[in-house]
Amino acid sequence: MEGTERFEPRPGLPERLARRFRRPFVAGATVGVAGYLIMTILLVTLGLVLVHVLLDGAVGRWDDSVNRWFVQQRTPTLDELSVWGSRLGDTFTVIGIAAVAVVMLAIGRLWARIAFLVGALLIELTTFVTTAFLVERPRPAVRQLDAVPPTSSFPSGHTAASIVLYVGLALIVTSLIRNTLARVVVWSVAVVVPIAVALSRLYRGMHHPTDVIASVIGAAGCLAFALLATRTGLVVAERGDAKSESDPAGPDPVPIGVPTGASGVEVAS
């Protein structure tokens, strides 16, 4: 798919969904809410199966072994590096970068891209909060290097938010530029930063490996649904524009005082 076509109305599923709506915002919001529900059901199911079935077997032992391995690698230098790696995915960083991006996109009047980015982050946030509340997985049984937040371990909110933000921005930026080197740099950053965030969270004892894996699945789904919601809204908007162009003035008005027949045709005098 060409990057420039990523945020354009497209046939297929968006077109079929758009038939049910007349307003672009309602169409996009409805698809976004559906995405939240589907991703929440998926992640909650995965989390409950993991906590109540799989942790007593090989999966739980693997989680614990990886947690212990990261503890064994701790050094003052890596401790400091992991602080910065973790900060790249914390709430304030994500909100700050997203806000700057929204302002810049608004200056360029790139409304569809704003809708995509904001929608993806909202789906991720609501899915994460709901899943963490329902699954309630304890943090790893190692010394944590950060203050333990009130949310549970599953899934990793830092990892999911960083994937949605940086990959989402990469999708937006590469839809606007054609230079190959620039696109490679953008995608490299979009891949490296979430990996750094995930490794930092594991290193600092804040999440199990399976928490991070679930976050990757969840973030990918949030991005996919946000893109689907954006395209559906664009199809509805395009359909409305086409209708307005085909009938810009509506039916011809009847002159005042001119009598008409039952069919609305002027009566000859």
pLDDT of amino acid 263: 44
Q: For 119, what's the count of Cα atoms within 13 Å in the CB-facing half-sphere?
A: 31
Phi and psi at 247, nearest 5°, equal -140, 65
Judged by average pLDDT, the poorest of 54-58, 219-223, 260-264 is 260-264
Q: Considering only CA atoms, which of 89, 81, 208, 194 is closest in space to residue 144? A: 208
Cβ neighbours of residue 229 under 8 Å, at least 6 residues apart? 27, 28, 29, 30, 31, 32, 35, 115, 116, 119
Mean per-residue pLDDT, 134-146: 94
What ranges make up the beta strands (E) of 148-241?
Answer: none
pLDDT at residue 209, as a whole number? 98
Helix ranges, 76-156 (H) = 76-87, 91-107, 111-135
Of all residues in the chain, the percent with pLDDT exceeding 90 is 79
Distance, in Å, from the CA atom of 74 to the CA atom of 64, rounded to the nearest integer, reads 16
What average pLDDT score do residues 243-257 get?
55
Q: How far apart are CA 86 and CA 199, in angstroms?
A: 8
Residues 131 and 71: their CA atoms lie apart, in Å, by 27
Q: Which residues contact 148 (CB under 8 A, 6 or more apart)?
A: 139, 206
For residues 62 and 18, the model is more confident at 62
Q: Three-class SS of residue 266?
A: strand
What is the tens place of the pLDDT at every residue in 184-219?
Answer: 999 999 999 999 999 999 999 999 999 999 999 999
- Greatest distance between any 2 Cα atoms in the chain: 102
8-57: pLDDT as tens digits:
877 899 999 988 899 999 999 999 999 999 999 999 999 999 999 999 99
pLDDT at 236: 93
Bridge partners, 260 (sequence order)? 266
Judged against a pLDDT cut of 90, whether residue 163 lies above it is answered with yes
Q: pLDDT band for 245, please (50, 70, 90 cuts).
A: low
Higher per-residue pLDDT: 240 or 253: 240
pLDDT of residue 150: 79
Q: What is the mean pLDDT of the chain?
A: 90
pTM equals: 0.88
